[in-house]
Amino acid sequence: MTKTPSYLNPDLPVATRVADLVSRMTLDEKVSQMLHEAPAIARLGVPAYNWWNECLHGVGRAGQATVFPQAIGLAASFDPDLMLRVADAISDEARAKHHAAARLGKAGAQYFGLTYWTPNINIFRDPRWGRGQETYGEDPYLTARMGVAFVKGLQGNDKKYLKLVATPKHYAVHSGPEPERHTFDAVVSGRDLRETYLPAFQACVTEGKAMSVMGAYNRTNGEVCCGSRTLLADILRGEWGFDGYVVSDCGAVGDFHLHHKVTANAAESAALAVRNGCELNCGDTFPALVQAVREGLITEAEIDTAVSRLFTVRFKLGMFDPGERVPYAAIPPSVVRCKRHVWLAREMARESIVLLKNAGNLLPLRKDLKAVAVIGPNAYAPRPLHGNYHGYSPQMVTPFEGIVGAVSAGTDVTYDEGCPLAADRPVNEGRLAWMVNHVDVIIAVLGLAPALEGEEGDTDDPAAAAGGGDRLHINLPGRQEELLRKLHATGKPVVLVLTGGSPIAIPWAKENIPAILMTWYGGEQAGAALADVLFGDYNPAGRLPVTFPRSLDQLPPFRDYAMQNRTYRFLNEEPLFRFGFGLSYTTFAYSNLRLSKATIGGKESVRVTCEVTNAGERAGDEVAQLYVSDLAASVPVPLRHLEGMRRIHLKPRQTKRLRFTLRAAQLAAYSEEGRPFVEPGEFRIAVGGGQPEDPASGAQSAVLTVVER
């Protein structure tokens, strides 16, 4: 009778099973498992597995899936609770698709696995970066809260098994320029590194318990990120106690010798990466590890450690256990785009919409208007619904379709492209005049599309090709502003609906167009959600997760990674629209702000309470935001920084009392080397519907004193 190998015994501890399996492998077999496209080891019963899978805002590139709003839109909800529900729905669909693929003999197929390379928690420090749409915006606190919720929703809460593996990326200090990412060295001070670029990664690892992290292409302060002793060994594992695995971005290890020129060949590059803590290679460089062992560049024991980390995760995903033992294996295929998930996509799309202007209460519109003109290159186009790294839905609802579906049966709704997305083609003024002659209102759907911003090489519009994925300017592209001006000149009321994944400079529109909405890349239910807001079925409450500058003149050079004059935390000038800004169809009043203590020591906490009242006649959500300002710091600090948020629903005249706990660590300043410290002094604590400097926020504030004890 043949004894069952220990690694196939689901009753044994994972560490015991992993050690047994790795001990049975040859060096060549071990190295083969460190590639993202890991082959089967037939003699050991190890199946082939492709580690590369995407679910940035829904399961991506794997056929049918619910398409949620792009990540920047998810962040605009300022709602970690809803984010957790979205991530849980995504992981349900991912599990169901994985097991359905396995039943078709595709268990190792790319994009149908259980290890997902998301979320992107890089700080969106500059609106030119094409991949900013993948992030949760410019603020470390907001990014951390949304990132932790997403990681937890993906990985599940079973005590034994992981639902999926989440992979926060790109670690670290990575946000363009896209065309230079394979050679670029992001030079950053210790203060900016610890105060801005690392907090969200730390939160996702220590709070979210992310089991994987993806390294960045670039160097940071001279070290290649996917082979950085500072980032991977000292900080990630040494300081934060990370016990998962690190995967390189695709081709990043090859960049060590091909482009960064920090090593001489593939063997040196592979050894550098693994020795410092990168276990999985998306690419084709790690096969050189066999040669590296022979040359003494790395030991087989170090290979064993790396392979053990990879198989620990595969065992925790239940890949070597009977399906009846793994609770997530029972999730049925019927969850994919089920009614609950489609409604959740609509709910999140509604929460993400930001009302930027509503002069004269033009919005909401009546559904029984006689005639409506829907005009613009993004009005009836599916691509602006997707964003990048997207899945596929057979029911993508465009703005035009959403509007048509919402108005009365007797309302005439007409559509025209108006002008191309970005091409320099004159606006047909005569046709527009004829179209809008009899309408009650014009809804102009303008802005960006993934053809104009994205990852290196992804943009396909000739107007965007020169940026290599990044934007060279932040205005409305092509002839769109000309179109908007001509629509305004007709004398008809105009509602401007913007799509996009990044800030758009629209100073003329802000001054002249009565109603403006930012809808991002809203996912499959974007058009339905927009109609809900336009016609009053939903009261908007989204907030900007990024600052909208007036122009590029307000920004430092793109390649400068210093935070001075970047984002709301360090920008001294008044922007076009502030981070955290967003209007509603009702008004909210803040009162009775209280601190549980007026004075605390440098290791204590304080409870902050206040009341929020819906002072209007319409029910709606409010996003309360808590900001901290150090009033007399001895070192450079942010002007203000978000340290708390609550999205709440209030009926007309209803009041709710909010409670925040503010830890002393949230008051920390940072030395030039990046050491955090809480110094005695006074701190302004403000709570309102936006930044305290914005009169529309209704913010109240109090002064907290920190003393030595």
**pLDDT digits 0-9 by tens, 27-62:** 999 999 999 999 999 999 999 999 999 999 999 999
Check whether 490 has a pLDDT greater than 70.
yes
* pLDDT for the residue numbered 508: 98
Token pair in block for residue 297: 């560049």
- Domain-by-domain residue ranges, the chain? 55-335, 351-562, 588-707
Task: Find where tokens 């009926």 sit.
Answer: 651
Mean pLDDT of 254-281: 98
Please tell me what DSSP assigns to residue 111.
T
* pLDDT for the residue numbered 107: 87
Question: Which CATH code for domain 55-335?
Answer: 3.20.20.300
Token pair in block for residue 681: 């002094």
Q: For the domain 351-562, what is the CATH superfamily, name and number? A: Glycoside hydrolase family 3 C-terminal domain (3.40.50.1700)
Strand partners, 678: none
For residues 364 and 140, what is the distance between their CA atoms, to the nearest angstrom? 34
Question: pLDDT tens for residues 399-415?
Answer: 999 999 999 999 999 99
Is beta strand 223-224 parallel, antiparallel or unpaired with respect to 219-220? antiparallel
pTM, to two decimals: 0.98
Q: Which helix (H) or strand (E) holds 249?
A: none
For residues 305 and 311, what is the distance between their CA atoms, to the nearest angstrom? 10
Q: Is residue 129 within 8 Å of 67, Cβ to Cβ?
A: no
Sign, CA dihedral 33-38-41-44, equals positive
* pLDDT for the residue numbered 709: 78
Query: What are the residue numbers of the active site?
Result: 249, 453
Right CATH for 588-707 from 3.20.20.140, 2.60.40.10, 3.10.180.10, 3.10.20.30: 2.60.40.10
Mean pLDDT of 672-689: 98
Confidence class for position 429, pLDDT limits 50, 70, 90: confident
Question: pLDDT tens for residues 70-121?
Answer: 999 999 999 999 999 999 999 999 999 999 999 999 988 999 999 999 999 9
For residues 509 and 357, what is the distance between their CA atoms, to the nearest angstrom? 10
Question: pLDDT tens for residues 584-641?
Answer: 999 999 999 999 999 999 999 999 999 999 999 999 999 999 999 999 999 999 999 9
Assess whether the region 55-335 and the region 351-562 belong to the same CATH fold.
no
Confidence class for position 1, pLDDT limits 50, 70, 90: low
For residues 488 and 509, what is the distance between their CA atoms, to the nearest angstrom? 9
Check whether 420 has a pLDDT greater than 90.
yes
Confidence class for position 466, pLDDT limits 50, 70, 90: confident
